Structure 1
Amino acid sequence: MTDRDEFLSWFRGPLFDAELALHNGDAGPRRALWSRKEPVSVFGAWKDATGQEEIDALFADLAASFSDCTSATMDLVAFDVIGDMAYTAALEHTSVSVYGKPRTYTLRATQVYRREDGRWMVAHRHGDTVVDESEG
Structure 2
Amino acid sequence: MTTETEAFLAQMVPAQSAADAEIHNGDPLPRIALWSHHDPVSLFGANLTVSGWSDVERAFHEVASWFGGSISWDFEVLHAQASGDLAYTVAYENSEAITDGVRRKYRLRVTHLYRREDGVWKIIHRHADFAPDETTPLFEDSSGKASSEQR
Q: Same fold (TM over 0.5)?
A: yes
Counterpart code for 1:32: A
Aligned residues: 135
From the CA coordinates, give the structure whose radius of gyration is larger: 2
Structure 1: state its 5+ residue gaps: none
Counterpart code for 2:22: A
Q: Which residue of 2 aligns with 1:50?
A: 51
Q: Which residue of 2 aligns with 1:87?
A: 88
Counterpart code for 1:128: D
Distance 1:14 1:24 in 2: 16
**TM-score normalised by length of structure 1:** 0.93
Percent same amino acid among aligned pairs? 38
Distance 1:22 1:5 in 2: 26
CA RMSD of aligned residues (A): 1.7
User: What is the SS of the residue equivalent to 1:132?
Assistant: coil
Q: Which residue of 1 aligns with 2:115?
A: 114
- 1:105 paired with 2:106, answer yes
Q: 1:125: how far off?
A: 0.2
Is residue 92–residue 110 contact of structure 2 (8 Å, CA) maintained in 1? yes
**TM-score normalised by length of structure 2:** 0.84
Distance 1:3 1:82 in 2: 7
Structure 2: state its 5+ residue gaps: 137-151
Q: Which residue of 1 aligns with 2:144?
A: none
Counterpart code for 1:26: D
User: What is the SS of the residue equivalent to 1:37?
Assistant: coil
